[in-house]
Amino acid sequence: MKGSHMKLIKTILMGAALMLAFSSQAAQFQEGQHYKVLANPTMARDASKVEVVEVFWYGCGHCNHFEPTVQAWKKSVQADVDFYQLPAQFSRQWKVHAELFYLTHALKVNDKVHQAIFDQIHKKRNPLLNKDDQKEFLAGYGVSEADFDKYDDSFGVRRQLKMADQMVRNYAISGVPAIIVNGKYVVNASSAGGMDKIFGVVNFLIEKERKTLKK
């Protein structure tokens, strides 16, 4: 009886601690300070889930440093979160890398080469800005020259580039990395208080949006 009583007390205390932590978090993250509300919200691609989008550029040093954190967080998300990455196209170089991103998706090798592209650019100083360098790099992952040429500048890749560019414009961001939660909120290192604090704010916003899904 005594043991059961102690377990009940512990359960109550744990619940109280969690509620206190959440209340503290809610008070900590303020609109306009830790995250921005989009003036023109966008629709999520799956209305049954909370959409989380990272806007990035392969050539961005901050994105490169942030990528391991992104991948670690990605493994922890629940099934009701729809996470994906979106390449920004703020210049010609950015567009070349955005095209490479969608090309590797069309070739079904992005999971294998995504981190390796960051490494090529930032560690091996190979900018991957011309087709020959891209072909040589992807050949190391089993992509033939014929397959590269088949999907390079294909209709599907061009369509995804156009859609991604429009989405980023709708988000009205000027730098990367930036996280967009459910087409409503923008979080970046500046607003969150550091790169390591971004996902704390993102997780808070996911919980905020998760409540609307259950209504």
Do 176 and 105 share a structural domain?
Answer: yes
Q: Which residues of 27-60 are buried (b: 16+ CB within 10 A; e: fewer)?
A: eebeeeebbbebeeebebeeeebbbbbbbbbbbb
Do 185 and 164 share a structural domain?
Answer: yes
The angle that helices 110-122 and 61-76 make with each other, rounded to 10 degrees, is: 150
* pLDDT for residue 204 is more than 90: yes
SS (H, E, C) the chain: CHHHHHHHHHHHHHHHHHHHHHHHHHHHCCECCCEEECCCCCCCCCCCCEEEEEEECCCCHHHHHHHHHHHHHHHHCCCCEEEEEEECCCCHHHHHHHHHHHHHHHCCCHHHHHHHHHHHHHCCCCCCCCHHHHHHHHHCCCCCHHHHHHHCCCHHHHHHHHHHHHHHHHHCCCCCCEEEECCCEEEEHHHHCCHHHHHHHHHHHHHHHHHHHCC
- Please tell me the number of Cα atoms within 13 Å of 69 on its side-chain side: 17
* Nearest in space to 78 (alpha carbons), one of 48, 56, 110: 48
pLDDT band at 28; cut points 50, 70, 90: confident
Do 87 and 110 share a structural domain?
Answer: yes
Do 82 and 72 share a structural domain?
Answer: yes
| Residue-level pLDDT at 79 | 96
State which amino acid sits at residue 25.
Q
pLDDT band at 20; cut points 50, 70, 90: very low
- Give me the sheet containing 50-56, strands edge to edge: 36-37, 185-188, 178-181, 50-56, 81-87
| Residue-level pLDDT at 25 | 52
Domain total of the chain: 2
If one counts every other C-beta atom within 10 angstroms of the C-beta of residue 100, the result is 23
Do 180 and 89 share a structural domain?
Answer: yes
Give this prediction's pTM. 0.86
Determine the structural domain holding residue 1 and report its residue range.
1-30
> pLDDT exceeding 90 applies to what percent of the chain?
85
Do 73 and 20 share a structural domain?
Answer: no
pLDDT band at 22; cut points 50, 70, 90: very low
pLDDT band at 162; cut points 50, 70, 90: very high
| Residue-level pLDDT at 12 | 47
State which amino acid sits at residue 190.
S
Task: Give the phi and the psi of residue 54 in degrees, each rounded to 5.
Answer: -100, 120
* pLDDT for residue 4 is more than 90: no
Do 90 and 68 share a structural domain?
Answer: yes
Do 130 and 110 share a structural domain?
Answer: yes
Do 71 and 16 share a structural domain?
Answer: no
Taking the CA atoms of 65, 69, 74 and 75 in sequence, report the sign of the dihedral they define.
positive
The whole-chain average pLDDT of the chain stands at 91
* pLDDT for residue 61 is more than 60: yes
- Mean pLDDT calculated for residue range 113-137: 98
Do 90 and 24 share a structural domain?
Answer: no
Do 109 and 10 share a structural domain?
Answer: no
Do 81 and 24 share a structural domain?
Answer: no
The CATH number of whichever domain residue 82 belongs to comes to: 3.40.30.10
